[in-house]
Amino acid sequence: MKKVLLLFIIAIFCLNCKKKPIFKGEAIEYTEDLTGSGFKSSQLDELTYTLDKDYNTTSMMILYNGKSIYEYGDTKAISYMASCRKSICSMLYGKYIDNGTIDLNETIGDLGIDEADGLLPIEKQATVRDVLMAKSGVFYEPANGGYDSKNAKPRGSVEPGDYFLYNNWDFNVAGHILELKSGNDIYQEIEDQLARPLGFQDWNIKNQSKSSTKKGKSQYPAYHIYISTRDMAKIGQLMLNKGVWKGQQLISNSWIDESTAIHTPSDTLLARYNNPDDQQFAYGYYWWLFANNDYSDLDGAYQADGYGGQYITIIPKRELVVVHKVKFPLLVSAGIKKGGSADVSGRQYNDLIHNLMKY
Mean pLDDT for each 10-residue chunk of the chain (359 residues)? 43 62 93 96 97 97 98 97 97 98 98 97 98 98 90 97 97 98 98 98 96 78 97 98 98 98 96 84 98 96 97 98 88 51 87 94
In a domain, 14, yes or no: no
- Judge whether 301 and 314 are in contact, CB under 8 Å: yes
> Are the CB atoms for 28 and 201 separated by under 8 Å?
no
Asked, for residue 152, whether it belongs to a domain, the answer is: yes
Expressed as residue numbers, the domain containing 268 is: 24-357
Please check whether residue 19 lies inside any domain of the structure.
no
Nearest to 80 by CA among 88, 72, 69: 88
pLDDT tens by residue, 213-261: 666 699 999 999 999 999 999 999 999 999 999 999 999 999 999 999 9
d(CA 358, CA 295): 8
For residue 119, is it left (φ>0), alpha (ψ between -120 and 50) or beta? beta
Question: What is the Cα–Cα distance from 61 to 287, expressed in whole angstroms?
Answer: 20
Tell me the whole-structure pTM to 2 decimals. 0.93
Distance CA 13, CA 16 (A): 6
Q: What would the pLDDT profile of 168-189 be if each residue is shown by its tens digit? A: 999 999 999 999 999 999 999 9
In a domain, 47, yes or no: yes
DSSP structure string for 221-272:
--EE-EEEHHHHHHHHHHHHTTTEETTEESS-HHHHHHHTS-SB-HHHHHHH
Residues contacting residue 137 through CB under 8 Å, at least 6 positions apart: 122, 123, 126, 130, 158, 159, 160, 161, 162, 163
The answer to whether residue 231 sits within a structural domain is yes
- CATH number of the domain residue 91 falls in: 3.40.710.10
In a domain, 1, yes or no: no
Radius of gyration, CA atoms only, the chain: 20
Q: Which of 79, 118, 39 is nearest to 342 (CA)?
A: 79
Domain annotation covers residue 114: yes
DSSP state of 127: B
pLDDT in tens, 52-73: 999 999 999 999 999 999 999 9
Q: Are strands 226-228 and 78-80 parallel, antiparallel or unpaired?
A: antiparallel
Percent pLDDT > 70 in the chain is 90
CB of 324 within 8 A of CB of 344? yes
Is residue 76, in this structure, part of any structural domain at all? yes
Backbone angles phi, psi at 248, to 5 degrees: -105, 130
For 150, other C-beta atoms within 10 Å of its C-beta total: 7
Using alpha carbons, select from 84, 170, 90 the residue that is nearest to residue 135. 170
CA distance 131 to 160: 9
Per-residue confidence (pLDDT) for residue 19, from 0 to 100:
87
Give the separation between CA 98 and CA 257, rounded to whole angstroms: 13
Q: What domain count does the chain have?
A: 1
